[in-house]
Amino acid sequence: MIIRKLENWPFEGLRGEFSEFDQIQRYLGRLFSDRSQANGRETPAGVYPLLNVSHDSENVYVRSEISGMTLDQLDVSVTGRSLTVSGERAIPDEDSNVRYHRKEREAGKIRRQLTLPTDVDHERVQAKYQHGILMVVLPKAEKSKPKKIAISE
């Protein structure tokens, strides 16, 4: 913080009424850019659960790390090009006489909506929850699949 304050010295007082605002803006900008660099994340959405989306010529794959859920707590739905993952993660209460030393795991609601990169075949969408990973496989609609075009001489 001290370094940041000294950066503009000795001009700090000379820059008029906007200087403070500018500084805040720049500080915030730096704060967020530092954050995303530290994570190595390209698009921090800031909404839980985090998603990894990939595709090949046939399907779109959506993966999410949500451990400790049961199937009835998870809800996946597709409307148009929009995929919604929602649910509630519950951490069952332990016996009342236990003493907690650490409590880092969180319980609560999760909800995430995602716009898919292509049209998908709604009828054939499959979702699987295994080892705490939710994986949704969305077959691409026929018209969105890449077509090989024969080149004639």
Partner 1 sequence: MTTQTQDIQVRDKREVKSDAEQTIPGRVFSPNVDIFEDDQALTIVADMPGVPPENVSIDLRNDVLSLSGVPSVSVTEKEEHVLHEFATGKYFRQFTLSEVIDQEHIDAKLNNGVLRVTLPKVGPAKPRKIEITEG
Name the site residues for partner 1 (rule: CB under 8 A): 38-57, 60-61, 63, 65-70, 88-91, 94-95, 97-111, 114, 117, 129, 131-133, 135
Structure tokens at 111: 């909800």
Q: Is the dihedral of CA 127, 130, 134, 140 positive or negative?
A: negative
- When the beta carbons of 49 and 127 are compared against partner 1, the nearer one is 49
As measured in angstroms, the least distance from the Cβ of 130 to partner 1 is 8
Cβ contacts of 55 within 8 Å, gap of 6 or more: 61, 117, 118, 140
Nearer to partner 1, 105 or 143 (CB): 105
Return the number of the residue (16 or 92) whose C-beta is nearest partner 1.
92
Shortest CB 52 distance to partner 1, Å: 6
- Give the pair of three-digit tokens for residue 23: 């500084």
User: d(Cα 13, Cα 63) in Å, to the nearest integer?
Assistant: 51
